[in-house]
Amino acid sequence: MESQINFCYQSIADIQATIRAIDAKIGFLMVIIFLPIAAIKEITSIYAGIANNSQCLMVLMWAVALAWAVTIIVLFRALWSIKSPSNGVTGNNATGVFFNSSHYKMSAIDCVFNFPIKSSIDLNTAIANIPKDESSLLKELVFEKMKLEYIRDIKMKRCSMSSMLILFWITIGTGIYIYSLMSAS
């Protein structure tokens, strides 16, 4: 049983490190996604000139703009916290004592002001909720591991989707830009 518990601790640490790495990648992608804003005047000028000459290129330009907008949404969704990852775990009869985020109820105003926020349970109840035997501890650790896997997989999927969308709009946008340079000369 001890080796299973150690395995779970190591797995949880590894998954948490992977989630942090994904968040760092998302930060990098956020920088990339907002780079076109610095050249928005030039981009709109080029696109306006091309739109007058070709309906096909105009459709491509709208596809690039749509892909860019969807990328922003997907990247922000990847950064938002996932509420109740325990809902993604089937057969859940664990208490979630390892990472229980339901002891403090906060409202939107608490994001701006620090009102006194009190826990919903007292210290003695929190101590009583800690697993008493190795079997219960293992169940809680596996439950936590599965919740983290859920979070990791969602973030990974959103990061990958954003990367593909970025590749799409950079490739098509660059192609349109090269076309505009060639047609201008």
Q: How far is CA 69 from CA 106, 161, 176, in A?
A: 31, 13, 18
Condensed to tens digits (0 to 9), the pLDDT of residues 63-90 reads 999 999 999 999 999 998 887 787 778 8
pLDDT above 80 for 135: yes
- Torsion region of 96: left, alpha or beta (phi above 0 gives left; psi -120 to 50 gives alpha): left
Condensed to tens digits (0 to 9), the pLDDT of residues 40-71 reads 888 888 888 777 777 888 888 889 999 999 99
What is the rounded CA–CA span in Å between residue 83 and residue 81? 6
Q: Mean pLDDT across the chain, nearest whole number?
A: 87
What's the pLDDT score for residue 122? 85
What is the rounded CA–CA span in Å between residue 8 and residue 149? 12
Condensed to tens digits (0 to 9), the pLDDT of residues 117-133 reads 888 888 888 888 888 89
What is the rounded CA–CA span in Å between residue 71 and residue 20? 20
What's the pLDDT score for residue 185? 65
pLDDT band at 106 (very low <50, low <70, confident <90, very high): confident
The pairs formed by 30-36 with CB atoms below 8 angstroms and a separation of 24 or more are 30/75, 32/166, 33/68, 33/71, 33/72, 33/75, 33/162, 33/166, 36/68, 36/173
Give the burial string for 79-100 (b: 16+ CB within 10 Å, else e).
Answer: eeeeeebbeebeeeebebbbee
DSSP H helical ranges for the chain: 2-34, 40-53, 55-79, 123-128, 134-184
Domain ranges of the chain: 2-93+131-184
